[in-house]
Amino acid sequence: MATRIKESRGQEMALTAVVAVVIVLLSLLPMLRLVKEIVAPGGTLSTVAIAAGLRSPATWIATWHTLVVGIGGTLLAVLSGTVVAVLVSLTDIRGRSALVLCYVMPLMIAPQVTALAWLQLFGPASPFLKLFGAAPPLGTENPLYSTSGIILLLGVQYGPLVFLLVRAGLRKLPRELVEAARAGGAGWFTVLVTIVLPLMTPSIMAAAALAFVSCVGNFGIPAFLGIPANYLVLPTLIYQRLAGGGPAVLGEAAFLSALIGVIAMAGILAQELMSRRRDYRISSTSLPAEPYELGRWRVAVQAGMWLLIVLVLFLPLFGLVLTSLVPGYGIALTAKTATLDNYRFVLFEHDAAKRAFFNSFWLSIAAAFFAVIVAVPVGYLIAWGKQRWVRLLNLSVELPYALPGVVLAIASLLLFLRPIPLTGIQLYNTVWIIFYAYLARFLVLALRPTISGYHQIDRALEEAAQVAGAGLFTRMRTIIFPLVAPAAMAGGLLIFMTALSELTVSALLWSSGSETIGVVMFSFEQGGDSNYATAMSVITVAVTFVLMLVTNLLAPYLPSGVLPWRD
């Protein structure tokens, strides 16, 4: 046996240990806690919770509704997202970057803001319809309070998600495949149907699975559109149960949230199975295909695209702004009635709203900051680490984000309902439980771009520092962090934007004093104060939009695909 050599790998071990602890705390622990609650509530194996959940008719109705809006929303999103992706990627349409920016925008807007904006368009109190005197009489039901309303908005919200994935796939389509088919005499439409779409099946499937998970887990849209019509899906059912019963019904809520998790996972599995059936691998990489010349159709197609964008983005936002300027419910907007009072009220007068702005800003800044700090070492281990088990880390960080937010919220509740053992620290009923949930849920948003940043960096840059004598921590600080910082920070900004008006998690975790923007917005809307809710929405949308523009400045330093709205 050879003599042992002193390896001095202390820093590497320390880093690995810290990363492992963070991952266990943020992703494994909550998931395990949730599973335990379902199979062994109170410490002993029992099927009571499951049986109780299965017996309740409300469970089955909500499950049915969840499937209906989930599948409907997914179909709509896949259809619209794929069509837009094909038109934007494969034709010689003009103004592509602007189109992409506008089309992807709804993805950056919180679902409940989307819901609120659309509600303002069509309701009897709609200032927009009143501009033309076309508003239905007061007391009429808003047509969006319905199954089809929810499906429509889910499609609008997640169409861009499908668009991004399909577009990424289309970009990798080698032009030889298209050219070979055209040389074989196929017209453009035939090529599209026989070559392009079949090759895009994996992208479309993956996009569909992601859209399905998002639709099934969405809380904001069914909360704003479904609850008034008493049309409950699983996330809203959980919310109502918890709001009514408090911690006593946590066991049932855990069961329901696991049910959502199972439905979401079933969607992902179905996609896996379907894309395994045939070989769609694209072997060569080459330049993308020449755009198809639309010729005299170009103007029409362009007009159609912009009309779509007016419909899904500008009109709803316009409705949102109009309502936020109206002094009260049902009052028509004129130059005389227009007022900024609603903004003044939510920013300076209403206590909970003031607190919410404060809380949401610091929560999202802190979550973004922490995630960036954590993403750099975690990404290092995942992208460059030698140990194979570290790759499993990646999966476990993805988990809390892949699963619907409700699942994580319930898991956090279960975890922190009682004071933390040994320390006696109580997170339940404080803002810290929301902070914890944000970290667990959004870490992956910073991690993904960071990992793609690592893959773009030549590993030799680190090795050069290593032979120069720099230990791991020194390399991290002087070489690695500066190089991946732009990617990690872009991820941080994504987190900030997502967390700022987040509702799903905080709706279940908030308490008096720890309100978030999403929660206060929701309670204004439930109380009929749409004007205040819209004023808050406009502020968050404006902040998001400004941030998107600012982030664009980082774009030259980023791996492509990190900023979803950049073409």
Partner 1 sequence: MARLSLDNVTKSFADFDAVKDVSIDVGDGEFLAVLGPSGCGKTTLLRLVAGFEKVTSGEIRIGSDVVSNSGGSVAPEKRRVGIVFQNYALWPHMTVAENIGYSLKVAKLDKAVARQKVEDALALVNLQGLGERKPANLSGGQRQRVALARCLVAAPSLVLFDEPLANLDVHLRASMEDEFAAFHKRTGTTIVYITHDQAEAMALADRIAVMDHGRLAQLATPRELYHEPANEMVASFISQGILLPADVLTAEEAGHCKVKVLGTELVVRCHPGERPRAGAKICCRSADLDVSPDGPGFDGLVKRVIYHGGAARIEFTPAAGPDLTLHFEQPDPVVLESGARARLRIRSGWLIPAAGSAS
Residues with Cβ within 8 Å of 293's Cβ and at least 6 positions away in sequence, in order, are 91, 92
One of 176, 272, 290, 463 touching partner 1 (CB under 8 A) = 463
Spatial separation of the C-alpha atoms in residues 124 and 71, rounded to whole Å: 29
Residue 1 found at the interface with partner 1 (CB under 8 A): yes
**Which of 3, 44, 284, 512 forms a contact with partner 1 (CB under 8 A)?**
3
Q: Give the residue, chosen from 247, 471, 527, 528, that forms a contact with partner 1 under the rule CB under 8 A.
A: 471
Cβ count near 249 (within 10 Å): 15
Nearest-Å Rg of the Cα atoms of the chain is: 25
Confirm or reject binding of residue 483 to partner 1 (CB under 8 A). Answer: yes
**Residue 458 sits in the site that holds partner 1 (CB under 8 A):** yes
Q: How far is the CB of 390 from partner 1 (least distance, A)?
A: 17
The rounded distance, in Å, linking the Cα atoms of 402 and 400 is 6
Q: Which is nearer to partner 1, 11 or 240 (CB)?
A: 11
Tell me which of 2, 134, 422, 553 binds partner 1, using CB under 8 A: 2
Instruction: Please state, in angstroms and rounded to a whole number, the distance separating the CA atoms of residues 2 and 4.
Output: 6
Residue 14 near partner 1 by CB under 8 A? no
Greatest extent of the chain over all pairs of C-alpha atoms, in Å:
91
Count, residues near partner 1 per rule CB under 8 A: 26
Region of 368-376, 415-423, 456-464, 521-529 interacting with partner 1 (CB under 8 A): 456-464
What secondary structure letter does DSSP report for 172?
A: T
Q: Report the site for partner 1 in 161-190 (rule: CB under 8 A).
A: none
Assigned token pair, 259: 């049910």
CB of 371 to partner 1, least distance (A): 22
Site string for partner 1, 406-445 (x = CB under 8 A): ----------------------------------------
Least CB distance to partner 1 at residue 4 (A): 5
322 lies in the site for partner 1, by CB under 8 A: no
Give bridge partners of residue 91 from the DSSP assignment: 292
Q: Does 283 bind partner 1 (CB under 8 A)?
A: no
Closest CA to 515 of 324, 399, 354, 372: 354
Question: How close are the terminal C-alpha atoms of the chain, in Å?
Answer: 58
CB 219 within 8 A of CB 410: no
Assess 556 for contact with partner 1 (CB under 8 A). Answer: no
For position 7 contacting partner 1 by CB under 8 A, the verdict is: yes
48 scored as a contact of partner 1 (CB under 8 A)? no
Q: Taken in order 178, 179, 184, 190, is the CA torsion positive or negative?
A: positive
From 467, 512, 553, 556, residue interacting with partner 1 (rule: CB under 8 A): 467
- Backbone phi, then psi, for 144, in 5-degree steps? -80, -15
Q: Which is nearer to partner 1, 5 or 183 (CB)?
A: 5
Closest by Cα among 561, 444, 435, 411 to 502: 435
CB nearer to partner 1: give 314 or 473: 473
CA distance 516 to 357: 7
Q: Does 469 bind partner 1 (CB under 8 A)?
A: yes
Question: What are the φ and ψ backbone dihedral angles of 288, each rounded to 5 degrees?
Answer: -70, 160
Among 24, 340, 461, 542, contact with partner 1 (rule: CB under 8 A): 461
**If binding is defined by CB under 8 A, does position 389 make contact with partner 1?**
no
H or E element at residue 38: helix 29-39
| Chain positions contacting partner 1, by CB under 8 A | 1-9, 458, 460-461, 463-471, 474, 478-479, 482-483
